[in-house]
Amino acid sequence: MFKRFVIRFKPGVPQRIHLLLAALLWSCIGITLFIRGLSWTIATGKLWIVIPALMIGTIKSLFILDKTANNGIQRILKFTDGTCLGAVYSLKTWLLIILMMGTGIIVRHSSIPQELLGGAYMAIGWALCFSSRHAWRAWQLVTKGF
* Rama region for 23: left / alpha / beta (φ>0; ψ in -120 to 50; rest): alpha
Could you give the CA distance from residue 45 to residue 25 in angstroms, rounded to a whole number? 30
Note the pLDDT tens digit of each residue in 92-119: 989 999 999 999 999 999 999 999 999 9
Note the pLDDT tens digit of each residue in 7-36: 666 788 999 999 999 999 999 999 999 999
Angle at which helices 114-143 and 66-77 cross, to 10°: 30
Amino acid at 124: I
The pTM of this model reads: 0.89
